[in-house]
Structure 1
Amino acid sequence: MVKLIKDELGDLNIASYFIALVSLTLFTAAITWYLFSYDLDDILQILSYPYSDYPVIVYTSGNFVTIPLWLIMCIIVLIGVFRGVYELFKKPWLKKVINYLLIGLCVLFVLTILSFFIYSIVWKSAAREHGYIECPSSNTTLVKFSKSSTAWTKEESLCHDYQVGEALSSGNHEDIIETAEYLKNR
């Protein structure tokens, strides 16, 4: 019943398949822990920036895609589990489940790409509506160390302020709070 070596083309080597599936499941569990421990709070903060009163905010294009990519990883793990069970028991309903999961994976992949562009448009539009302007991308402006982040401010002069750039070095939430405190006490 269990194949430990590859007998024919298309047969599944269960031992190596099981090891790969356990590794992928542990990796997904680690990503899940990281997402819910650290990254989810940052994502929610970034979503709320255009509606805040911070003098300088940071737009990061990649953070929003973390949740859909996590969902894609979870579906891939489910496909792996059902594929292994199908190879062991050869039940036709398992093949249907795998096909539905593959369709769901394709749909989720397309929605992830679309949501990335929609998020960018909506976030930037909301920031502009609340009085923020985007700082130009160059070495003399804020957030120098990240190519996927841009600084937005309500005062154009802050885009070229060296002290604000130092306070906003990485563009994370703590830096935004520190920059707001610095500008309030200046």
Structure 2
Amino acid sequence: MSNMGARITRVITNFNLENRAHREISKLKPRAAPRHPTSESLPQHNTAGNMTEDINQRNDPLLSMLKNVYVESKDPVSQGEDVSTVNKAKQETERRLLKFSLPGDPYGICDVTDVPKGKLTLVEALTVLNNHKQLPKTWTTEKMSQEYSLDPKDAKALVDFFIPFDVKIIPAESAKNKQINDS
């Protein structure tokens, strides 16, 4: 049935094709817009040969002006950004000894003895968060930032956004809870 539909559409599209083509060919073509008079009056002397001659010619007035130019550039020093980048670089070069580490060499991790100030290892982060969870009044963000050389903002963000081992205890089954049977 689809073959029949293709034949019909082909017949309709090819109907009177030659006449339609001759009609399109015999139509008058649109004329191009006239050129602007200023573009016709410009001299056409800038050819490739003339350009190379112009480039290679010595222009003494321009050369003398160029000799008078002296450029000295310096990067502007913004006080806020420069001080903070220097402090960050200085802070990363200063290192502190580890407070806690894993015993032995688990998982093929190399022995790390010190870390940059302002950084924590994963074991230290978990220990700090556990201490804060168990004793929040003694392990405040200020104490964490002093003990581990952290920025107070980072210590607060660590406590607010990193919640490890949040254990939820589901109550025992009751008559209200129904189980789905595997039948």
Common topology (TM > 0.5): no
Which of 1 and 2 has higher RCO (CA within 8 Å, sep 6+)? 1
| TM-score, L = length of structure 2 | 0.19
State TM-score, norm by structure 1.
0.19
Query: Considering only CA atoms, is the larger Rg found in Structure 1 or Structure 2?
Result: 2
